[in-house]
A and B are shown apart, each in its own frame.
Chain A
Amino acid sequence: MTSSRQWLTGAARALPFFYAAIVIVLVWEVVVLLTKPDPSILPPPLEVAWTFGHLASDGELAVHTAYSVARVFSAWLLSAVIAIPLGLLMGNSRSLERIINPFVELLRPISPLAWIPMAILWFGIGESGKVFVVFIGTFFPILLSTIAGAKGVDPVLLHAGQVFGCTTRLSLFRRVVVPAALPNIVVGLRVAFGTGWAAIIAAELVAAHSGLGYLIANGMDILRADQVLVGMIAIGVLGFLFDTFFRYLQAHYGRAAR
């Protein structure tokens, strides 16, 4: 009873996205029918679906997807491991924030994409260069939202923590500051995964032999617009699924801080 109702509300929530997808495909089809473009510039939806099925069944799509996801995931994890503790400390120590914040503010406006050439010069086109680019893209969102979370803890909760047994700064930090900042941290992790996902595609477009970005760039080189579109669709769908997953985490574990 409950589970079927849950399934129904889930389906109802997915409905607007199916609607949008269908409209996009219809408009696409109409444009193809009216303008009759060369298939190497804009193939019809059915042809792209055919290519999608082909790339999916021979495993090529899965391999490229796995490469991209693995790169984003490892860089994102590395960012989290460094940015979350650093952000918590910066949010709690004015002097540490004063020392580190100027670096953050100077480096943050440089888009991760602008780091791609330096990453190639330093790391070549191996895995470490791409992880570096995604690291740049994921580090700052996590750091900034962690700082905001740690600084934004309601002062009355700090007082309550002190009254109810947090006699040292460390115990107050562990028992009040960290859990109070957690919702903000989860938001940062989610936003960072999105920016990381955008950054890895860009990095793979420029310098890679694998990944969804490479699939697109290769499609362009061999004039296979259908392959480019398959890559784009995979990027969009996966990005959407990741974001949905993080929203779910946020709703369950990141109870809104007040």
Chain B
Amino acid sequence: MNARATTGKPLSISGLTKTYDTRTGERVDALGPVSIEVAAGEFLVVVGPSGCGKSTLLQILAGFMKPTDGGASVAGEPIVDPSLDRSMIFQSYALFPWLSVLDNVQFGLRSKSIPREEQRSIALQHLQLVGLQDFADKSIDELSGGMKQRVAIARAFAVNPSILLMDEPFGALDALTRRFLQRELLRIWQERQRTVVFITHSVTEAIYLADRILVMSSRPGQIRKEWRLDSPRPRDLNADEHRQLETEIYSLLDEEVTKTFTWTS
């Protein structure tokens, strides 16, 4: 499917479900069953209406949460705990405000058995990758939202993961910053070729980034449909094929959102 050299690993999700018990004792089926095979180095984007369980899916893949049923594995290794091998980029950046920019990027390297000097140079190298090498000693509070997310991207790549999990990473940014960071992310991903699972509300973002788009249904979230995209990057979102795809995905999502609103009556 793709001939690019990759250091990513395949991710396999099979029969995954998640059921919550609410405080009132009700059982809520949040997710699944979901089965997905993600190829090594593939950029997978998951789109779905709010509350469809796509964040739950990512939390399980990160190892923060146990599935009710089914499981996920990376190159055959079952996911049980969080791991440096599955790095993550959060919507709210999740940078450590008491550390400098450089120390944030270096945070994940500290638990690897690498000499301090080398950790530092790896962290600097990754700040350079996102264009923030001159901000190494700044504090996090001094950065704009877009810069914070670039630091988070540097931190996520610095630990040399085989999988990157991204939970609506650009959702809190303004439209221009968002476009810029989408381009930046693609550039870095094309350089490093990791397996990516990217969650978003934005259909255009999905079309711009993805090798494959999955659309999830409303709760309990299941895969409604998938599309493979092989148009060359950077993609022109105004091209006819992309416009048409956007319309198709939106009509499917509209259907799902409508369900969540008529469900109560």
Tell me the chain A residues, 139-195 only, with Cβ under 8 Å from chain B: 154, 156-157, 159-160, 162-167, 171, 175-176, 179-180, 182
Whether B97 lies near A258 (C-beta < 8 A) is yes
Known pairs A164-B155, A165-B112; A255 contacts B139 (CB<8 A): yes
Q: Closest approach, in angstroms, between the C-beta of B106 and any C-beta of chain A?
A: 10
Whether A182 lies near B98 (C-beta < 8 A) is yes
Residue of chain B at shortest CB distance from A183? B98
Interface majority SS (helix, strand, loop, mixed), chain A: helix
Residue B81, interface by CB 8 Å: yes
Contacts of B141 in A (CB 8 A): 255
Residue of chain A at shortest CB distance from B96? A157
Whether A255 lies near B98 (C-beta < 8 A) is yes
Contacts of A257 in B (CB 8 A): 97
Query: How many residues of chain A are within 8 Å of chain B by beta carbon?
Result: 20
Whether B64 lies near A159 (C-beta < 8 A) is yes
Contact with A along B80-110 (1 / 0, CB 8 A): 0111101110101011111100000001111
Whether A255 lies near B97 (C-beta < 8 A) is yes
Instruction: List the count of A-B residue pairs having beta carbons below 8 Å apart.
Output: 65
Q: Closest approach, in angstroms, between the C-beta of A187 and any C-beta of chain B?
A: 15
Contacts of A165 in B (CB 8 A): 84, 107-112, 159
Known pairs A156-B92, A255-B139, A255-B141; A163 contacts B87 (CB<8 A): yes
Contact of B88 among A159, A167, A176, A255 (CB under 8 A): A159
Query: How many residues of chain B are within 8 Å of chain A by beta carbon?
Result: 28
Known pairs A156-B92, A171-B111; A163 contacts B86 (CB<8 A): yes
Whether A164 lies near B92 (C-beta < 8 A) is no
Whether A167 lies near B111 (C-beta < 8 A) is yes
Contacts of B108 in A (CB 8 A): 163-165
Q: Closest approach, in angstroms, between the C-beta of A250 and any C-beta of chain B?
A: 14
The 9 closest A-B pairs by CB, nearest first: A165-B111, A164-B108, A160-B94, A162-B82, A179-B98, A156-B94, A163-B88, A163-B82, A164-B107
Contacts of A182 in B (CB 8 A): 98
Q: Closest approach, in angstroms, between the C-beta of B94 and any C-beta of chain A?
A: 4
Residue of chain B at shortest CB distance from A159? B64
Known pairs A255-B97, A255-B98; A162 contacts B159 (CB<8 A): no
Residue B213, interface by CB 8 Å: no
Q: How far is the CA of A160 from the CA of B110 in the complex (A)?
A: 14
Contacts of B210 in A (CB 8 A): none
Contact of B96 among A160, A162, A163 (CB under 8 A): A160
Q: Closest approach, in angstroms, between the C-beta of B170 and any C-beta of chain A?
A: 16
Contacts of B216 in A (CB 8 A): none
Contacts of A171 in B (CB 8 A): 111
Q: How far is the CA of A113 from the CA of B17 in the complex (A)?
A: 58
